[in-house]
Structure 1
Amino acid sequence: MAPVGVHFITVTKEGSRLRLWLLEQVRPSSGVIQSEMDLDDPLSLVDPYSQAAMLALLWNPKPKRIYFAGFGAGRVPMILHHYFPQATIDCAEIEPTVVTVAERFFGAKLDNRLRVQIEDGRVWLAQHEGHFDMMMVDVFLDNGYSPYRLSTVEFYELCRDRLTPDGVLIVNMLAEDSYLAERLQSLGRVFKTIYVCPIQEENNVVIAHNCGEVEQESLVDKAAALQGIHRFNFPFARHIPSLSSDLRSIAPTLEEAYPFMDDAPPEGYFDSLPSFNTPFSRVDAKLPCPCGSGRKFGDCHGLPARSK
Protein backbone atom coordinates (compact mmCIF):
# COMPACT_ATOMS: atom_id res chain seq x y z
CA MET A 1 0.00 0.00 0.00
CA ALA A 2 1.48 3.33 -1.05
CA PRO A 3 0.21 6.90 -0.57
CA VAL A 4 -0.26 8.51 -3.97
CA GLY A 5 -2.29 11.65 -4.56
CA VAL A 6 -5.36 11.63 -2.32
CA HIS A 7 -5.49 7.83 -2.03
CA PHE A 8 -3.60 4.85 -0.80
CA ILE A 9 -3.28 2.71 -3.92
CA THR A 10 -3.64 -0.85 -2.71
CA VAL A 11 -3.32 -4.24 -4.41
CA THR A 12 -4.53 -7.33 -2.54
CA LYS A 13 -4.42 -11.02 -3.43
CA GLU A 14 -6.80 -13.67 -2.15
CA GLY A 15 -6.29 -17.05 -3.75
CA SER A 16 -6.08 -16.37 -7.47
CA ARG A 17 -8.02 -13.09 -7.21
CA LEU A 18 -6.05 -9.87 -7.56
CA ARG A 19 -7.84 -6.65 -6.59
CA LEU A 20 -7.10 -2.94 -6.93
CA TRP A 21 -8.39 -0.53 -4.29
CA LEU A 22 -8.17 3.25 -3.95
CA LEU A 23 -8.46 4.13 -0.25
CA GLU A 24 -8.94 7.67 0.97
CA GLN A 25 -6.00 8.59 3.19
CA VAL A 26 -7.86 10.38 5.97
CA ARG A 27 -11.09 8.36 6.09
CA PRO A 28 -10.58 5.09 4.20
CA SER A 29 -14.18 4.01 3.94
CA SER A 30 -14.75 2.18 0.68
CA GLY A 31 -15.68 -1.41 0.15
CA VAL A 32 -15.65 -0.71 -3.59
CA ILE A 33 -13.17 -2.75 -5.60
CA GLN A 34 -11.79 -0.65 -8.43
CA SER A 35 -10.64 -3.62 -10.52
CA GLU A 36 -10.39 -7.38 -10.13
CA MET A 37 -8.64 -10.16 -12.04
CA ASP A 38 -8.44 -13.93 -11.78
CA LEU A 39 -4.77 -14.83 -12.22
CA ASP A 40 -5.76 -18.34 -13.29
CA ASP A 41 -8.05 -16.98 -16.01
CA PRO A 42 -6.85 -13.52 -17.08
CA LEU A 43 -9.17 -13.34 -20.11
CA SER A 44 -12.21 -13.62 -17.86
CA LEU A 45 -14.03 -10.56 -16.55
CA VAL A 46 -14.66 -11.21 -12.85
CA ASP A 47 -16.68 -8.14 -11.87
CA PRO A 48 -20.36 -8.54 -12.81
CA TYR A 49 -20.58 -4.85 -13.75
CA SER A 50 -17.72 -5.21 -16.24
CA GLN A 51 -19.45 -8.26 -17.73
CA ALA A 52 -22.64 -6.21 -18.11
CA ALA A 53 -20.73 -3.34 -19.72
CA MET A 54 -19.84 -5.70 -22.57
CA LEU A 55 -23.54 -5.82 -23.49
CA ALA A 56 -22.92 -2.57 -25.37
CA LEU A 57 -21.58 -4.84 -28.11
CA LEU A 58 -25.16 -5.89 -28.83
CA TRP A 59 -25.72 -2.49 -30.46
CA ASN A 60 -22.27 -2.10 -32.00
CA PRO A 61 -20.70 -5.54 -32.45
CA LYS A 62 -17.60 -4.46 -34.41
CA PRO A 63 -16.17 -1.39 -32.65
CA LYS A 64 -13.18 0.21 -34.31
CA ARG A 65 -12.62 3.15 -31.97
CA ILE A 66 -13.29 2.96 -28.23
CA TYR A 67 -12.87 5.54 -25.46
CA PHE A 68 -12.65 5.08 -21.70
CA ALA A 69 -12.86 7.85 -19.11
CA GLY A 70 -11.09 6.11 -16.24
CA PHE A 71 -8.58 3.28 -16.71
CA GLY A 72 -8.10 1.67 -13.30
CA ALA A 73 -6.38 -1.69 -13.78
CA GLY A 74 -7.56 -1.68 -17.39
CA ARG A 75 -9.55 -4.89 -17.30
CA VAL A 76 -12.31 -4.02 -19.79
CA PRO A 77 -9.94 -2.16 -22.16
CA MET A 78 -7.57 -5.15 -22.18
CA ILE A 79 -10.37 -7.62 -22.87
CA LEU A 80 -11.61 -5.52 -25.80
CA HIS A 81 -8.02 -5.18 -27.01
CA HIS A 82 -7.73 -8.97 -27.08
CA TYR A 83 -11.04 -9.88 -28.70
CA PHE A 84 -11.25 -6.99 -31.18
CA PRO A 85 -7.88 -6.69 -32.94
CA GLN A 86 -9.34 -4.11 -35.33
CA ALA A 87 -10.12 -1.70 -32.48
CA THR A 88 -8.08 1.25 -31.24
CA ILE A 89 -8.71 2.06 -27.58
CA ASP A 90 -7.99 5.45 -25.99
CA CYS A 91 -8.21 5.94 -22.23
CA ALA A 92 -7.95 8.97 -19.96
CA GLU A 93 -6.72 8.49 -16.38
CA ILE A 94 -5.79 11.21 -13.90
CA GLU A 95 -3.35 9.21 -11.74
CA PRO A 96 -0.18 7.90 -13.45
CA THR A 97 0.60 5.52 -10.59
CA VAL A 98 -2.66 3.67 -11.27
CA VAL A 99 -1.44 3.01 -14.80
CA THR A 100 1.91 1.80 -13.45
CA VAL A 101 0.10 -0.59 -11.09
CA ALA A 102 -2.03 -1.87 -13.98
CA GLU A 103 1.10 -2.63 -15.97
CA ARG A 104 3.06 -4.15 -13.08
CA PHE A 105 0.39 -6.28 -11.43
CA PHE A 106 -2.51 -6.70 -13.86
CA GLY A 107 -0.66 -7.36 -17.09
CA ALA A 108 -1.72 -4.21 -18.93
CA LYS A 109 0.39 -3.78 -22.05
CA LEU A 110 0.07 -0.45 -23.79
CA ASP A 111 0.74 -0.23 -27.51
CA ASN A 112 -0.44 1.67 -30.56
CA ARG A 113 -3.91 0.14 -30.12
CA LEU A 114 -4.26 0.59 -26.35
CA ARG A 115 -3.26 4.08 -25.25
CA VAL A 116 -3.58 5.87 -21.93
CA GLN A 117 -3.24 9.62 -21.49
CA ILE A 118 -2.85 11.26 -18.08
CA GLU A 119 -5.67 13.75 -18.42
CA ASP A 120 -9.13 14.62 -17.17
CA GLY A 121 -11.63 12.46 -19.04
CA ARG A 122 -13.78 15.33 -20.26
CA VAL A 123 -10.84 17.55 -21.18
CA TRP A 124 -9.28 14.81 -23.30
CA LEU A 125 -12.53 14.10 -25.11
CA ALA A 126 -13.13 17.78 -25.85
CA GLN A 127 -9.62 18.19 -27.25
CA HIS A 128 -9.77 15.26 -29.65
CA GLU A 129 -11.82 15.17 -32.82
CA GLY A 130 -13.07 11.99 -34.39
CA HIS A 131 -15.83 9.60 -33.47
CA PHE A 132 -16.05 6.51 -31.30
CA ASP A 133 -18.16 3.39 -31.66
CA MET A 134 -18.14 2.78 -27.92
CA MET A 135 -17.46 4.97 -24.90
CA MET A 136 -17.40 4.11 -21.21
CA VAL A 137 -17.38 6.48 -18.23
CA ASP A 138 -16.28 4.77 -15.01
CA VAL A 139 -14.72 7.30 -12.65
CA PHE A 140 -14.97 7.20 -8.85
CA LEU A 141 -12.91 8.14 -5.82
CA ASP A 142 -12.77 5.92 -2.72
CA ASN A 143 -15.95 7.16 -1.07
CA GLY A 144 -18.04 6.95 -4.23
CA TYR A 145 -17.53 10.57 -5.32
CA SER A 146 -18.05 10.89 -9.06
CA PRO A 147 -16.84 14.08 -10.79
CA TYR A 148 -19.73 16.46 -11.36
CA ARG A 149 -18.54 17.54 -14.80
CA LEU A 150 -18.71 13.92 -15.97
CA SER A 151 -22.44 13.79 -15.22
CA THR A 152 -23.88 16.98 -16.71
CA VAL A 153 -26.05 17.54 -19.76
CA GLU A 154 -23.17 19.37 -21.43
CA PHE A 155 -20.83 16.42 -20.91
CA TYR A 156 -23.32 13.94 -22.28
CA GLU A 157 -23.84 16.23 -25.28
CA LEU A 158 -20.09 16.06 -25.86
CA CYS A 159 -20.26 12.27 -25.66
CA ARG A 160 -23.13 12.20 -28.16
CA ASP A 161 -21.21 14.43 -30.54
CA ARG A 162 -18.17 12.13 -30.35
CA LEU A 163 -20.16 8.94 -30.99
CA THR A 164 -20.77 7.39 -34.39
CA PRO A 165 -24.47 7.23 -35.44
CA ASP A 166 -24.74 3.71 -34.00
CA GLY A 167 -22.30 4.39 -31.17
CA VAL A 168 -23.01 3.38 -27.58
CA LEU A 169 -22.23 5.08 -24.26
CA ILE A 170 -21.79 3.01 -21.08
CA VAL A 171 -21.88 4.72 -17.68
CA ASN A 172 -21.21 2.99 -14.38
CA MET A 173 -23.42 4.47 -11.64
CA LEU A 174 -23.50 3.40 -8.01
CA ALA A 175 -26.79 2.02 -6.73
CA GLU A 176 -26.59 4.02 -3.48
CA ASP A 177 -25.74 7.30 -5.22
CA SER A 178 -27.98 10.01 -3.76
CA TYR A 179 -27.83 11.80 -7.14
CA LEU A 180 -28.71 8.79 -9.27
CA ALA A 181 -31.99 10.29 -10.49
CA GLU A 182 -30.27 13.54 -11.47
CA ARG A 183 -27.60 11.70 -13.46
CA LEU A 184 -30.24 9.70 -15.31
CA GLN A 185 -32.24 12.87 -16.02
CA SER A 186 -29.12 14.45 -17.48
CA LEU A 187 -28.49 11.44 -19.68
CA GLY A 188 -32.13 11.38 -20.78
CA ARG A 189 -31.92 14.96 -22.03
CA VAL A 190 -29.39 13.81 -24.63
CA PHE A 191 -30.05 10.17 -25.53
CA LYS A 192 -33.32 8.72 -26.83
CA THR A 193 -32.76 5.19 -25.59
CA ILE A 194 -31.40 4.25 -22.17
CA TYR A 195 -31.16 0.82 -20.60
CA VAL A 196 -30.24 0.13 -17.00
CA CYS A 197 -28.76 -3.10 -15.71
CA PRO A 198 -28.76 -3.34 -11.88
CA ILE A 199 -25.85 -5.38 -10.52
CA GLN A 200 -26.11 -6.98 -7.05
CA GLU A 201 -27.47 -3.83 -5.35
CA GLU A 202 -24.09 -2.16 -5.86
CA ASN A 203 -23.82 -0.85 -9.41
CA ASN A 204 -26.09 0.21 -12.23
CA VAL A 205 -24.60 -0.26 -15.66
CA VAL A 206 -26.32 2.29 -17.89
CA ILE A 207 -26.25 1.90 -21.68
CA ALA A 208 -27.32 4.91 -23.76
CA HIS A 209 -27.59 5.43 -27.50
CA ASN A 210 -29.81 6.93 -30.18
CA CYS A 211 -30.44 3.71 -32.12
CA GLY A 212 -33.89 2.90 -30.77
CA GLU A 213 -35.07 0.05 -28.56
CA VAL A 214 -34.58 -3.62 -29.40
CA GLU A 215 -36.70 -6.55 -28.25
CA GLN A 216 -35.04 -8.67 -25.56
CA GLU A 217 -35.40 -11.80 -27.70
CA SER A 218 -33.37 -10.09 -30.42
CA LEU A 219 -30.69 -9.16 -27.88
CA VAL A 220 -30.44 -12.79 -26.79
CA ASP A 221 -29.97 -13.86 -30.40
CA LYS A 222 -27.29 -11.21 -30.96
CA ALA A 223 -25.47 -12.26 -27.80
CA ALA A 224 -25.47 -15.89 -28.93
CA ALA A 225 -24.03 -14.87 -32.29
CA LEU A 226 -21.28 -12.80 -30.65
CA GLN A 227 -20.45 -15.60 -28.26
CA GLY A 228 -20.16 -17.99 -31.19
CA ILE A 229 -17.74 -15.67 -32.97
CA HIS A 230 -15.51 -14.60 -30.08
CA ARG A 231 -15.83 -17.40 -27.52
CA PHE A 232 -15.78 -14.94 -24.63
CA ASN A 233 -14.25 -16.50 -21.54
CA PHE A 234 -16.87 -15.00 -19.22
CA PRO A 235 -20.69 -15.07 -18.93
CA PHE A 236 -21.44 -12.50 -21.61
CA ALA A 237 -25.23 -12.80 -21.87
CA ARG A 238 -26.20 -13.57 -18.28
CA HIS A 239 -27.18 -9.96 -17.58
CA ILE A 240 -29.59 -9.53 -20.51
CA PRO A 241 -32.66 -10.46 -18.39
CA SER A 242 -31.78 -7.59 -16.04
CA LEU A 243 -31.75 -4.98 -18.82
CA SER A 244 -34.65 -2.55 -18.53
CA SER A 245 -35.67 0.71 -20.14
CA ASP A 246 -37.72 1.58 -17.05
CA LEU A 247 -35.38 4.03 -15.34
CA ARG A 248 -37.79 4.47 -12.44
CA SER A 249 -37.08 0.88 -11.44
CA ILE A 250 -33.75 2.09 -10.03
CA ALA A 251 -34.61 5.78 -9.51
CA PRO A 252 -38.19 6.17 -8.18
CA THR A 253 -37.77 9.97 -7.85
CA LEU A 254 -36.70 10.38 -11.48
CA GLU A 255 -39.61 12.60 -12.52
CA GLU A 256 -38.95 15.05 -9.67
CA ALA A 257 -35.20 15.26 -10.34
CA TYR A 258 -33.52 18.10 -12.20
CA PRO A 259 -30.75 17.44 -14.71
CA PHE A 260 -27.20 18.46 -13.87
CA MET A 261 -25.95 21.55 -15.70
CA ASP A 262 -22.32 22.70 -15.75
CA ASP A 263 -22.97 26.03 -14.05
CA ALA A 264 -25.46 24.86 -11.41
CA PRO A 265 -24.13 22.06 -9.18
CA PRO A 266 -26.49 21.28 -6.29
CA GLU A 267 -25.55 22.54 -2.87
CA GLY A 268 -23.51 19.98 -0.98
CA TYR A 269 -22.45 17.96 -4.02
CA PHE A 270 -18.75 18.44 -3.32
CA ASP A 271 -18.99 17.70 0.41
CA SER A 272 -17.92 14.10 -0.18
CA LEU A 273 -14.61 15.05 -1.74
CA PRO A 274 -11.62 13.58 0.14
CA SER A 275 -9.17 15.74 2.02
CA PHE A 276 -6.60 17.12 -0.40
CA ASN A 277 -4.10 18.32 2.18
CA THR A 278 -2.84 15.43 4.30
CA PRO A 279 0.59 14.47 5.63
CA PHE A 280 0.70 11.78 2.94
CA SER A 281 -0.61 13.70 -0.06
CA ARG A 282 1.76 13.89 -2.99
CA VAL A 283 -0.42 15.25 -5.76
CA ASP A 284 1.62 16.80 -8.52
CA ALA A 285 0.36 20.32 -9.14
CA LYS A 286 0.45 19.67 -12.89
CA LEU A 287 -1.84 16.62 -12.76
CA PRO A 288 -5.63 16.87 -13.28
CA CYS A 289 -7.49 17.71 -10.08
CA PRO A 290 -9.33 14.65 -8.70
CA CYS A 291 -12.46 16.76 -8.17
CA GLY A 292 -13.09 16.65 -11.92
CA SER A 293 -13.05 20.39 -12.53
CA GLY A 294 -10.89 19.97 -15.60
CA ARG A 295 -8.23 22.22 -14.09
CA LYS A 296 -4.80 21.19 -12.90
CA PHE A 297 -4.50 20.32 -9.22
CA GLY A 298 -2.23 23.29 -8.50
CA ASP A 299 -4.86 25.64 -9.94
CA CYS A 300 -7.77 24.01 -8.13
CA HIS A 301 -7.77 22.14 -4.80
CA GLY A 302 -4.02 21.68 -4.48
CA LEU A 303 -1.09 23.60 -3.16
CA PRO A 304 2.10 23.62 -5.24
CA ALA A 305 3.70 20.18 -5.28
CA ARG A 306 6.11 19.62 -2.40
CA SER A 307 9.74 19.72 -3.31
CA LYS A 308 11.63 16.49 -2.76
Structure 2
Amino acid sequence: MLKIEQYSMNMEHLLTLPGEQVNHGTAGLESFEIRQNGDLRWIRFPDGTIQSVMLLKEPALPVLTYIQALLCSLLFMPRPSNLLNLGLGSGSIERFILSQYSDIELVSVEIDARIIEISKQYFHIPSSHTVFQLPAEKYLEINQANFDILVSDICTRQGTANSQLSTDFVMHAAHALNTGGVFAVNILPRSESEIIEVLIALRCAFPWILLYDVADMDNIVLFCTVTPSPSPASLMQRAKTLYQSTGLNLSPICRQMIALPAKK
Protein backbone atom coordinates (compact mmCIF):
# COMPACT_ATOMS: atom_id res chain seq x y z
CA MET A 1 0.00 0.00 0.00
CA LEU A 2 1.28 3.45 -0.91
CA LYS A 3 1.93 5.71 2.07
CA ILE A 4 0.94 8.80 0.07
CA GLU A 5 -2.39 8.41 -1.69
CA GLN A 6 -2.25 11.33 -4.12
CA TYR A 7 0.32 13.87 -5.22
CA SER A 8 -0.41 16.72 -7.59
CA MET A 9 2.37 17.75 -9.97
CA ASN A 10 2.13 20.80 -12.19
CA MET A 11 4.57 20.38 -15.08
CA GLU A 12 4.81 24.11 -15.73
CA HIS A 13 5.90 24.61 -12.14
CA LEU A 14 8.43 21.80 -12.41
CA LEU A 15 9.96 23.38 -15.52
CA THR A 16 10.71 26.51 -13.49
CA LEU A 17 12.36 24.68 -10.59
CA PRO A 18 16.15 25.11 -10.69
CA GLY A 19 16.96 21.78 -9.10
CA GLU A 20 20.39 20.49 -8.14
CA GLN A 21 22.11 18.23 -10.67
CA VAL A 22 22.96 14.92 -8.99
CA ASN A 23 24.79 13.07 -11.80
CA HIS A 24 27.90 15.24 -12.21
CA GLY A 25 30.71 13.35 -13.89
CA THR A 26 28.73 10.17 -14.56
CA ALA A 27 30.48 8.63 -17.55
CA GLY A 28 28.26 8.11 -20.59
CA LEU A 29 25.39 10.17 -19.18
CA GLU A 30 26.65 13.64 -20.07
CA SER A 31 23.63 14.39 -22.29
CA PHE A 32 21.23 13.80 -19.40
CA GLU A 33 20.77 15.85 -16.27
CA ILE A 34 19.34 14.10 -13.22
CA ARG A 35 17.98 17.00 -11.20
CA GLN A 36 16.52 17.15 -7.72
CA ASN A 37 14.53 19.69 -5.73
CA GLY A 38 13.33 18.66 -2.30
CA ASP A 39 11.61 15.29 -2.65
CA LEU A 40 11.37 15.47 -6.45
CA ARG A 41 13.87 13.94 -8.86
CA TRP A 42 13.59 14.10 -12.66
CA ILE A 43 15.47 13.71 -15.95
CA ARG A 44 16.14 16.93 -17.88
CA PHE A 45 17.37 17.01 -21.46
CA PRO A 46 19.60 19.76 -22.92
CA ASP A 47 16.62 21.32 -24.71
CA GLY A 48 14.84 21.75 -21.36
CA THR A 49 12.28 18.99 -21.75
CA ILE A 50 11.54 16.64 -18.86
CA GLN A 51 10.96 12.94 -19.29
CA SER A 52 10.35 11.47 -15.86
CA VAL A 53 9.53 12.52 -12.32
CA MET A 54 9.89 10.56 -9.08
CA LEU A 55 8.90 11.41 -5.53
CA LEU A 56 11.86 10.33 -3.40
CA LYS A 57 9.82 9.73 -0.26
CA GLU A 58 7.38 7.51 -2.20
CA PRO A 59 9.17 6.17 -5.30
CA ALA A 60 6.36 3.77 -6.24
CA LEU A 61 3.79 6.56 -6.53
CA PRO A 62 3.19 7.51 -10.19
CA VAL A 63 3.49 11.30 -10.01
CA LEU A 64 2.52 12.31 -13.54
CA THR A 65 -1.12 12.01 -14.56
CA TYR A 66 -0.37 10.35 -17.89
CA ILE A 67 1.50 7.54 -16.06
CA GLN A 68 -1.51 7.10 -13.78
CA ALA A 69 -3.64 6.93 -16.92
CA LEU A 70 -1.45 4.20 -18.41
CA LEU A 71 -1.88 2.26 -15.16
CA CYS A 72 -5.65 2.28 -15.77
CA SER A 73 -4.79 -0.64 -18.08
CA LEU A 74 -4.74 -2.72 -14.88
CA LEU A 75 -8.53 -2.27 -14.72
CA PHE A 76 -9.35 -3.96 -18.02
CA MET A 77 -9.04 -7.50 -16.65
CA PRO A 78 -10.14 -8.69 -13.19
CA ARG A 79 -6.76 -10.28 -12.39
CA PRO A 80 -4.05 -9.48 -14.95
CA SER A 81 -1.15 -11.93 -14.80
CA ASN A 82 1.48 -10.19 -16.92
CA LEU A 83 2.39 -6.83 -18.41
CA LEU A 84 4.74 -5.79 -21.21
CA ASN A 85 6.05 -2.22 -20.94
CA LEU A 86 7.59 -0.73 -24.08
CA GLY A 87 9.64 2.33 -23.12
CA LEU A 88 11.18 2.26 -19.66
CA GLY A 89 11.83 5.96 -19.04
CA SER A 90 12.79 6.29 -15.39
CA GLY A 91 10.69 3.22 -14.56
CA SER A 92 7.48 4.77 -13.20
CA ILE A 93 5.39 1.80 -14.38
CA GLU A 94 7.98 -0.66 -13.08
CA ARG A 95 8.24 0.92 -9.62
CA PHE A 96 4.48 0.75 -9.12
CA ILE A 97 4.04 -2.80 -10.42
CA LEU A 98 7.07 -4.21 -8.57
CA SER A 99 5.90 -2.53 -5.35
CA GLN A 100 2.17 -3.26 -5.50
CA TYR A 101 1.71 -6.31 -7.74
CA SER A 102 4.29 -8.99 -7.01
CA ASP A 103 2.03 -11.54 -8.74
CA ILE A 104 2.17 -9.74 -12.11
CA GLU A 105 4.98 -10.88 -14.40
CA LEU A 106 6.61 -7.71 -15.70
CA VAL A 107 8.61 -7.45 -18.93
CA SER A 108 10.40 -4.16 -19.69
CA VAL A 109 11.83 -3.04 -23.03
CA GLU A 110 14.01 0.04 -23.64
CA ILE A 111 16.13 0.97 -26.66
CA ASP A 112 18.62 3.26 -24.84
CA ALA A 113 21.22 1.63 -22.60
CA ARG A 114 21.79 4.97 -20.85
CA ILE A 115 18.14 5.17 -19.80
CA ILE A 116 18.35 1.65 -18.38
CA GLU A 117 21.46 2.66 -16.41
CA ILE A 118 19.81 5.86 -15.16
CA SER A 119 16.66 4.05 -14.01
CA LYS A 120 18.71 1.62 -11.93
CA GLN A 121 21.26 4.10 -10.61
CA TYR A 122 19.02 7.07 -9.82
CA PHE A 123 15.37 5.95 -9.94
CA HIS A 124 15.09 2.91 -7.66
CA ILE A 125 14.68 0.21 -10.29
CA PRO A 126 16.25 -2.95 -8.82
CA SER A 127 19.50 -3.97 -10.51
CA SER A 128 18.06 -7.48 -10.68
CA HIS A 129 15.13 -6.39 -12.85
CA THR A 130 15.76 -7.45 -16.46
CA VAL A 131 15.25 -4.81 -19.13
CA PHE A 132 15.54 -5.92 -22.75
CA GLN A 133 17.58 -3.41 -24.72
CA LEU A 134 15.79 -3.46 -28.06
CA PRO A 135 13.64 -1.18 -30.20
CA ALA A 136 10.00 -1.73 -29.24
CA GLU A 137 9.02 -2.73 -32.77
CA LYS A 138 11.86 -5.29 -32.90
CA TYR A 139 10.81 -6.83 -29.59
CA LEU A 140 7.21 -7.19 -30.80
CA GLU A 141 8.42 -8.69 -34.06
CA ILE A 142 10.33 -11.51 -32.33
CA ASN A 143 8.04 -11.87 -29.32
CA GLN A 144 6.39 -15.27 -28.84
CA ALA A 145 4.56 -14.57 -25.56
CA ASN A 146 1.06 -13.26 -24.90
CA PHE A 147 0.21 -10.56 -22.38
CA ASP A 148 -2.86 -9.32 -20.53
CA ILE A 149 -1.53 -5.74 -20.69
CA LEU A 150 0.74 -4.07 -23.21
CA VAL A 151 1.85 -0.51 -22.42
CA SER A 152 3.58 1.63 -25.03
CA ASP A 153 5.22 4.87 -23.91
CA ILE A 154 7.84 5.40 -26.60
CA CYS A 155 7.21 9.03 -27.44
CA THR A 156 10.24 11.05 -28.48
CA ARG A 157 10.86 14.71 -27.65
CA GLN A 158 9.63 15.44 -31.18
CA GLY A 159 6.30 13.67 -30.60
CA THR A 160 4.93 10.19 -31.04
CA ALA A 161 7.53 7.68 -32.18
CA ASN A 162 6.90 6.78 -35.82
CA SER A 163 7.12 3.07 -35.04
CA GLN A 164 3.78 3.34 -33.22
CA LEU A 165 2.17 4.47 -36.45
CA SER A 166 3.22 1.48 -38.54
CA THR A 167 0.76 -1.25 -39.47
CA ASP A 168 3.26 -3.93 -38.46
CA PHE A 169 3.72 -2.46 -34.99
CA VAL A 170 -0.04 -2.30 -34.38
CA MET A 171 -0.67 -5.80 -35.71
CA HIS A 172 2.17 -7.28 -33.65
CA ALA A 173 0.77 -5.54 -30.56
CA ALA A 174 -2.69 -7.02 -31.18
CA HIS A 175 -1.23 -10.49 -31.69
CA ALA A 176 0.71 -10.20 -28.41
CA LEU A 177 -2.46 -9.77 -26.33
CA ASN A 178 -4.38 -12.46 -24.52
CA THR A 179 -8.14 -12.57 -25.02
CA GLY A 180 -9.60 -9.58 -23.20
CA GLY A 181 -6.21 -7.86 -23.02
CA VAL A 182 -5.58 -4.16 -23.53
CA PHE A 183 -3.01 -2.12 -25.44
CA ALA A 184 -2.45 1.23 -23.65
CA VAL A 185 -0.66 3.84 -25.76
CA ASN A 186 0.68 7.25 -24.73
CA ILE A 187 0.96 9.75 -27.59
CA LEU A 188 2.11 13.37 -27.86
CA PRO A 189 0.28 14.58 -30.96
CA ARG A 190 1.43 17.80 -32.56
CA SER A 191 -1.83 18.33 -34.43
CA GLU A 192 -5.36 17.01 -34.83
CA SER A 193 -4.32 15.36 -38.06
CA GLU A 194 -1.67 13.37 -36.19
CA ILE A 195 -4.29 12.14 -33.72
CA ILE A 196 -6.42 10.98 -36.64
CA GLU A 197 -3.38 9.31 -38.21
CA VAL A 198 -2.70 7.37 -35.00
CA LEU A 199 -6.35 6.34 -34.65
CA ILE A 200 -6.50 5.12 -38.24
CA ALA A 201 -3.40 3.00 -37.66
CA LEU A 202 -4.80 1.53 -34.43
CA ARG A 203 -8.19 0.82 -36.01
CA CYS A 204 -6.52 -1.71 -38.31
CA ALA A 205 -6.40 -4.14 -35.39
CA PHE A 206 -8.42 -2.67 -32.53
CA PRO A 207 -12.17 -2.07 -33.07
CA TRP A 208 -12.66 -0.67 -29.56
CA ILE A 209 -10.73 2.39 -28.32
CA LEU A 210 -11.13 4.51 -25.19
CA LEU A 211 -9.48 7.95 -25.15
CA TYR A 212 -8.22 9.99 -22.20
CA ASP A 213 -7.05 13.55 -22.83
CA VAL A 214 -4.57 14.29 -20.03
CA ALA A 215 -5.42 17.54 -18.25
CA ASP A 216 -2.75 20.28 -18.33
CA MET A 217 -0.49 18.18 -20.56
CA ASP A 218 -0.21 17.48 -24.29
CA ASN A 219 -0.50 13.71 -23.80
CA ILE A 220 -3.38 11.55 -24.93
CA VAL A 221 -3.67 7.99 -23.66
CA LEU A 222 -5.53 5.44 -25.78
CA PHE A 223 -6.84 2.09 -24.52
CA CYS A 224 -7.24 -0.33 -27.42
CA THR A 225 -8.93 -3.73 -27.32
CA VAL A 226 -9.78 -6.46 -29.79
CA THR A 227 -12.90 -7.41 -27.81
CA PRO A 228 -15.41 -4.95 -26.31
CA SER A 229 -13.95 -2.78 -23.55
CA PRO A 230 -15.24 -3.17 -19.99
CA SER A 231 -18.25 -1.04 -19.15
CA PRO A 232 -17.70 2.28 -17.35
CA ALA A 233 -19.33 0.73 -14.26
CA SER A 234 -16.86 -2.19 -14.32
CA LEU A 235 -13.87 0.14 -14.69
CA MET A 236 -15.07 2.29 -11.79
CA GLN A 237 -15.62 -0.75 -9.56
CA ARG A 238 -12.17 -2.12 -10.36
CA ALA A 239 -10.68 1.35 -9.75
CA LYS A 240 -12.29 1.30 -6.30
CA THR A 241 -10.81 -2.13 -5.59
CA LEU A 242 -7.36 -1.00 -6.79
CA TYR A 243 -7.59 2.07 -4.56
CA GLN A 244 -8.43 -0.08 -1.54
CA SER A 245 -5.46 -2.38 -2.18
CA THR A 246 -2.81 0.12 -3.30
CA GLY A 247 -3.92 3.62 -2.31
CA LEU A 248 -3.83 4.87 -5.93
CA ASN A 249 -7.12 6.49 -6.96
CA LEU A 250 -7.72 6.09 -10.69
CA SER A 251 -11.46 6.81 -10.55
CA PRO A 252 -11.15 10.47 -11.72
CA ILE A 253 -9.36 9.29 -14.86
CA CYS A 254 -11.92 6.56 -15.53
CA ARG A 255 -14.72 9.12 -15.35
CA GLN A 256 -13.12 11.17 -18.11
CA MET A 257 -12.44 8.35 -20.58
CA ILE A 258 -14.25 8.76 -23.89
CA ALA A 259 -15.39 5.66 -25.76
CA LEU A 260 -14.90 6.13 -29.50
CA PRO A 261 -17.50 4.52 -31.77
CA ALA A 262 -16.64 0.87 -32.29
CA LYS A 263 -15.39 -0.07 -35.73
CA LYS A 264 -18.03 -2.12 -37.53
Give yes or no for TM over 0.5: yes
Relative distance call for 1:236 and 1:209 in structure 2 (3 A) is: same
Structure-1 separation of matches of 2:124 and 2:156: 23
State the AA in 2 paired with 1:14. N
Change (3 A) 1:61 1:175: farther
1:224 aligns with 2:240: yes
| Per-residue deviation, 1:222 | 1.9
Q: How many corresponding residue pairs? A: 235
Distance (whole Å) between structure 2 residues aligned to residue 3 and residue 175 of structure 1: 34
Greater C-alpha radius of gyration: 1
Moved more, 177-186 or 114-123: 177-186
Residue 120 of structure 1 is matched in structure 2 by 135
- 1:161 is matched with 175
Counterpart of 2:249 in structure 1 is 235
* 1:97 and 2:114 are equivalent in the alignment: yes
Q: Is the 8 A contact 2:155 2:187 kept in 1?
A: no
Q: TM-score, normalised by structure 1?
A: 0.70
Distance in 1 (alpha carbons) for counterparts of 2:67 and 2:73: 11
1:128-150 per-position Cα deviation (integer Å, ceiling 9, x unaligned): 21101111111123333x33222
- Residues 9-48 of structure 1: pairs in structure 2 closer than 5 A: 9-23=32-46, 28=47, 31=49, 33-48=50-65
Structure 1 stretch displaced more, 218-227 or 37-46: 218-227
Name structure 2 gaps, 5 residues minimum: 1-22
Q: State how far apart, in whole Å, the 1-side matches of 2:70 and 2:201 are.
A: 20
Identity %: 20
Give the alignment's TM-score, normalised by structure 2: 0.81
Matches within 5 A, 1:1-308: 8-23=31-46, 28=47, 31=49, 33-111=50-128, 114-144=129-159, 146-177=160-191, 179-200=194-215, 201-228=217-244, 230-232=245-247, 234-246=248-260
Task: State the 1:227 CA deviation.
Answer: 2.1
For 2:87 and 2:111, locate their aligned partners in 1 and report how far apart those are by CA, in whole Å: 8
For 1:132 and 1:122, the matched residues in 2 are separated by 16
Shift of 1:3: 9.0
**Long gaps (5+) in structure 1:** 248-308
More helix by share: 2
Cα 1:110–1:209 shift into 2, 3 Å: farther
Instruction: Let me know the Cα RMSD of the aligned residues.
Output: 2.2
Contact 2:189 2:219 in 1 (8 A): yes
| Secondary structure, counterpart of 1:81 in structure 2 | helix
